[in-house]
Chain A
Amino acid sequence: MNRINQKLKEGKKILSIYFTAGYPKINDTVKIIEDLEKNGVDLIEIGLPFSDPLADGPTIQESSTAALKNGMHTELLFEQLKDIRKSVSIPLIIMGYFNPVFQYGVEAFCKRCQEIGIDGLILPDLPLDVYLQDYEATFKKYGLINVFLITPQTSVKRIKEIDAASTGFIYMVSSASTTGATTGFGHEQQAYFERIAALNLKNPQIVGFGINNAETFDQATRTTAGAIIGSAFIKHLNRFGIDSIPDFIKTIR
């Protein structure tokens, strides 16, 4: 069974952390992953940096630009991760934009992911219809779960289509925004979380965007399987360095 499905079956609220590979320093990737696992993180999204990250706010844009300047690229990331399964057992997802994957070759990319022990991919700009038509078979062949996003504007009809195409979890974007918004969660989000919970989807949901402390983590996970933190973690790394990972996780739970 894929590690993502296994983790979801444990039933505890999932804390997932996103970070940009190659940031702050080019060779921080493995240490960040190991420290996150040691500190009780349940799932990690490894960001493959892209020059034009459309869905990201300033924090992740800047970390991506810095990572590329540091020399991060697809092959190097795979190199850095090649022995990761000797030390890390929690599920690992690569999150990035479609163009770098497309240039690497979708099949070759998926194959490398399987060899390394990557469990899934999140490619926000690979649309559902293109995935189903061109790539679903390849993802399945290499045992990769593709994670789709939904937002408060996604229609019920489309949510059901996405649910049908998903085999791990659904990434629930908390509000109409790019990553890194910090306005907190109000009635609108709660109503959205409850509305989705009431649909009784086959896939669990994990909330992302706008989670930055224990309060927003609790709010986001009341009706869902877990939450993802990205920008807040990157800001923390930026301010306090990679030795301060335990301090960050303590502020969440």
Chain B
Amino acid sequence: MSYNADEKGYYGEFGGAFIPEMLYPNTEELRQNYIQIMEEPSFKKEFDHLLQDYVGRPTPLYFAKRLSEKYNTKIYLKREDLCHTGAHKVNNTIGQILMAKKLGKNRIIAETGAGQHGVATATVCALMGIECVVYMGEIDIARQAPNVARMKMLGAEVRPALSGSRTLKDATNEAIRDWINNPVDTHYIIGSVVGPHPYPDMVARFQSVISQEIKSQLKEKEGVENPDYVIACVGGGSNAAGAFYHYLDNPDVGIIAVEAAGKGIDSGESAATSALGKVGIIHGSKTLLMQTPDGQITEPYSISAGLDYPGVGPMHAHLFRSGRGEFISITDAEAMKAGLLLSKLEGIIPAIESSHAFAILEQKTFKPDDIVVINLSGRGDKDLDTYIDYFKL
């Protein structure tokens, strides 16, 4: 079985491009060109150069000694939190801005929830001197003020999404509508492995640098390329796709995807898509999504804005359905506790999204000689207010 997209963008039964005809020319242009462009030596050279000198790659693979002692196993952290702008998101935006340039586009649009992808997009647009509009739900604008300010400093225009529930899913709708209205000059930089083909595959390829580095770093440190487990949190699924990518076809490597249970799977306030979702169409992709029996998309909840998405990328829907990946959901409380523990034991304050991945250590027992890689997708600076509120710091 293949865990990568076929040429129509399907991962098993999931994926494809369920888009209105207005978007067909744009996505078709991208579909016909993306692989060829990514394989051009000049593209690769510029991408690698920017990842190294601008983003700060390779990010370290750090052996977490005290955490390993506590859980009696060998834990490595892939330090995506040390990327420029503070999360893995920038790997994708660097790739896509270069793609947009190759396609001759001179205007960029993006959606953002917490603002991490918005900041990463505004950053690369500043770097390239390209006009940038970021859609953000009106409610998220109010609760993520520092990231809104960052985007503005970087020269981006932040447009409030006023429709529907005024959060990430609606910001995505607004970005798609903008693209319908500006089909020729604009490239849409989607922030995760979601959306119509070829986005899930393209974003996964840009993020695959994460597992590519893990392989060579692990070889150096442990003498083997393959860990026993890779663990990553899943919102749309881009950091997870990157961390899993080069291990997908190797059944010896266990894949653990961590979703946000919010206040509990059965609480009605959750974002655990694999547990609560059904097959349907969201943002142009056939995948698992949270919806009413009538097919209306429902509003998810998680304490971490980056995991607060009612769907999951089609790659992950397929990993779940096929049993290749183990999907576990973690509540707000479990994640917050794990974030605090990592801060105290290792001196690293994680993004709350990433804290969900660390909470797995409480749920699952690993063998003493297991090598467990946890993808530390982002740093906690953006979440300080939430940590302060939660722990009354």
Residues on A lying within 8 angstroms of B by beta carbon are 50-58, 61-62, 65, 68, 73-75, 97-104, 124-127, 129-130, 148-151, 153-155, 158, 173, 176-178, 181
A99 to B180 alpha-carbon distance, docked (Å): 20
Contacting pair A51 B296 (CB below 8 A): yes
B182 at the interface (CB under 8 A from A): yes
Also in contact, A65 and B164, with CB within 8 A (given A74-B295, A125-B281)? yes
Nearest CB in chain B: distance from A196 CB, A: 14
Contacting pair B164 A61 (CB below 8 A): yes
A172 to B1 alpha-carbon distance, docked (Å): 41
* Complex interface: chain B residues within 8 A of A181 (CB): 181
Interface residue range, chain B? 35 or more
Also in contact, A52 and B173, with CB within 8 A (given A100-B296, A125-B281, A176-B183)? yes
Contacting pair B293 A127 (CB below 8 A): no
Known: A103-B291, A125-B19, A176-B183. 7 other contacts (CB 8 A): A61-B164, A104-B294, A148-B21, A149-B20, A153-B183, A176-B182, A177-B181
**Residue on A nearest B289 in the bound complex, by CB:** A99
* Complex interface: chain A residues within 8 A of B24 (CB): 127, 153-154, 158
Also in contact, A55 and B25, with CB within 8 A (given A176-B182, A177-B181)? no
**Residue on B nearest A151 in the bound complex, by CB:** B22
11 A-B residue pairs with Cβ-Cβ distance under 8 Å, sorted by A, are: A52-B283, A53-B173, A54-B176, A55-B180, A62-B163, A74-B295, A125-B18, A130-B16, A154-B25, A173-B21, A176-B182
**Residue on A nearest B22 in the bound complex, by CB:** A151
* Complex interface: chain A residues within 8 A of B25 (CB): 151, 153-155
**Residue on B nearest A152 in the bound complex, by CB:** B183
Q: 8 Å CB contacts to A: which residues of B153-189?
A: 163-164, 169-170, 173, 176-177, 180-184
B361 at the interface (CB under 8 A from A): no
Q: 8 Å CB contacts to A: which residues of B262-303?
A: 278-284, 291, 293-298
Contacting pair B21 A178 (CB below 8 A): no
Partner among B180, B281, B291 whose Cβ is within 8 Å of the Cβ of A176: B180
Also in contact, A51 and B17, with CB within 8 A (given A57-B177, A100-B296, A176-B22)? no
Nearest CB in chain B: distance from A139 CB, A: 17
A126 to B18 alpha-carbon distance, docked (Å): 6
Also in contact, A52 and B295, with CB within 8 A (given A99-B280, A178-B177)? no
Contacting pair A98 B281 (CB below 8 A): yes
Tell me which of A73, A75, A100, A103 has the highest count of chain B C-beta atoms within 10 A of its own C-beta. Answer: A103
